Structure 1
Amino acid sequence: MTTKATARSARRRRSRFALGLGIVAVPLVLALLGPLFTGDPGPRSASFTLGGGHWLGTDFVGRDVWRQVLHGGRTVVLTALAATALAYLVALPVGLVSALTHLRRLEDVLMRPLDVLLAVPSLLLILLVASVFAPGAAGLALLVALVNVPDAARIVRAAAGEVAARPAVEALRMQGETWWRIAVGYVGRSSLRTLAADAGIRLTGVLYLVSTAAFLGVGVAPDAADWAVMVDRNRTGLLVQPWAVVVPALLIVALTTGTNLLFDAALEKTPRTKGRRP
């Protein structure tokens, strides 16, 4: 690989990272800092109007769309991040123990219940549980984490299992290294690249599930300031007042697209330059 090719690859990686950062920064800033600048909700006026002192018009109950946009991202972002973190909090130890154990029965105890759970469609399970318990935002995060644990655990097990089969792991066992040092210090660290790639894809899937659940009224109030709820409740006036639907929808798309670009750029390998022989 020539030096020029390596430089081009590095520039492409930096440009992709910058593009992803620029795309994801807009919804993240609005979601995390927006509520600090909105103040009171303001008076309600006629529904589905454009202008009239409102930058983006009004929504289906006459609220200012811009204020709703500033308020509506925090729930989506924080719920998705919490659900992803909780899923890996369970999947990592289950996958590592399953990959490193020599006891077939223990592996079956850990993985077979997850296989059963994996057979149930994620959104269907969320809707079934939500119809009984009516969860809030925290409950929605737990539900989304639950449906992501089986797949995440299988990815961890597959990645860790490949590393656990290396002679180095057996050498570490013979040297008397602790299970923690082998599992986390060597196997987990060696699997980090695969798990990071899966985390990027999984976060996008979690965002989709959280947004879809909120769109269907799970975890949030029907008139809550939430981007997914805004898309659902304002779609009847799409042709009259499109900004109430288009803006929150674009913010959700930007969040998922930017996240994928960031992870792709962070995980892309820069080709090594091979020196020429004299």
Structure 2
Amino acid sequence: MRRAVAVTLTGIPLAVAVFGPVLAGFTNARRGPAYAFGPGYPLGTDGLGRDVLGLVLRGGLSTLALAAAATVAAYGIGTLVGLLAAGTRRRWMDETLMRPLDVLLAVPALLVLLLVAASAGRNAGIIVVVVTVVTAPAVARLVRTAALDAARHPAAEAMVLQGESWWAVHIGYVGRCIVRPLLADAGTRMTTSVYLVGAANFLGVGLPPDAADWAVLVDRNRAGLLLQPWAVLVPAALIVAFTLGVNLLADDLTRRRR
């Protein structure tokens, strides 16, 4: 039952994001009055008079794609740094790798977004870079903590004595040992990325204010929430459903691997 709920919560927003742009061609492309309902507008119109259904169908891919790209980049960088720190025998190298990350962890992610919003233009690539920078340190610390015991295990020591390469020891052996904690963290990390991507679009860092994006829709139509709630509630519900479903799936994979 739990797995079915997780698949449903994840699958519906994902299906809307992937197949929505195709289906959006069958929706009403004309503009009507702002925050209104009428024939051809099953979910009403937004503050610019655009069909909310069409915007929702077209607006999910940007949010989820940016969050997924940032999450993958954060795991790639954080995992490599964490394994290097856990596998090194030189304390100075461990300190050199981890202390700058502690500084980044001390800076609130929203503060970084606000600083970027004040100094950079609108660019989707900036969102990916910022979200990667603020989430990779946490991944690196998790990987280092989880990999310390495995990197000092007699099996790893024996592989080193046999002349195995660093990649074979730390990616092949240690990497397999830390899969469970990484799976447990994956749902939370993806949720954080979705939240930060949504916050970036909400703050006007990334996509244009008239873009068909779920987070932008929530931001631009919150003033008309009482007049036309669907323009805010539908995209917000899809974002919440996806994040909950991803966390439930990650928990299920962790239990199965156990």
TM-score w.r.t. the length of structure 1 is: 0.89
Preserved contact between residue 117 and residue 204 of structure 2 (Cα < 8 Å): no
Matches within 5 A, 1:98-137: 98-137=85-124
Match of 1:27 among 1, 13, 16: 13
Distance 1:270 1:136 in 2: 39
In the other structure, the counterpart of 2:160 is 173
Alignment of 1:157 onto 2:151? no
| Per-residue deviation, 1:52 | 2.8
Matches within 5 A, 1:217-236: 217-236=204-223
Structure 1 residues 152 and 231, CA gap change in structure 2 (3 angstroms)? same
Residues matched between the structures, number: 257
In the other structure, the counterpart of 2:172 is 185
In the other structure, the counterpart of 1:87 is 74
Gaps in structure 2 of 5+ consecutive residues: none
Q: In percent, how many aligned pairs have the same letter?
A: 50
In the other structure, the counterpart of 1:268 is 255
Preserved contact between residue 120 and residue 205 of structure 2 (Cα < 8 Å): no
Distance 2:174 2:141 in 1: 15
For each residue in 1:234-272, what CA deviation from the matched residue of structure 2 results, as whole angstroms up to 9, or x when unmatched? 11111111111110110011010111111111111488x
SS at match of 2:59: helix
Distance 1:47 1:59 in 2: 6
Preserved contact between residue 187 and residue 248 of structure 2 (Cα < 8 Å): no
Distance 1:119 1:184 in 2: 29
Structure 1 residues 91 and 135, CA gap change in structure 2 (3 angstroms)? farther
- What residue identity is the alignment partner of 1:96? L
For each residue in 1:34-85, what CA deviation from the matched residue of structure 2 results, as whole angstroms up to 9, or x when unmatched? 1122128712110000233211010001000000000111110000000001
Distance 1:127 1:248 in 2: 23
Alignment of 1:71 onto 2:54? no
**Bigger Rg over Cα:** 1
SS at match of 1:268: helix
Matches within 5 A, 1:196-275: 196-269=183-256
In the other structure, the counterpart of 2:2 is 16
SS at match of 1:91: helix
**Structure 1: 4+ residue segments shifted above 6 A:** none
Query: After the TM superposition, which of the residue ranges 152-161 and 46-55 deviates more from structure 2?
Result: 46-55
| Per-residue deviation, 1:91 | 0.8
Distance 1:270 1:44 in 2: 51
- What residue identity is the alignment partner of 1:37? L
Gaps in structure 1 of 5+ consecutive residues: 1-14, 272-278
Aligned-residue RMSD, C-alpha: 1.5
Distance 1:270 1:213 in 2: 35
| Per-residue deviation, 1:163 | 1.2
- What residue identity is the alignment partner of 1:67? G
Structure 1 residues 183 and 135, CA gap change in structure 2 (3 angstroms)? farther
SS at match of 1:214: helix
Structure 1 residues 161 and 41, CA gap change in structure 2 (3 angstroms)? farther
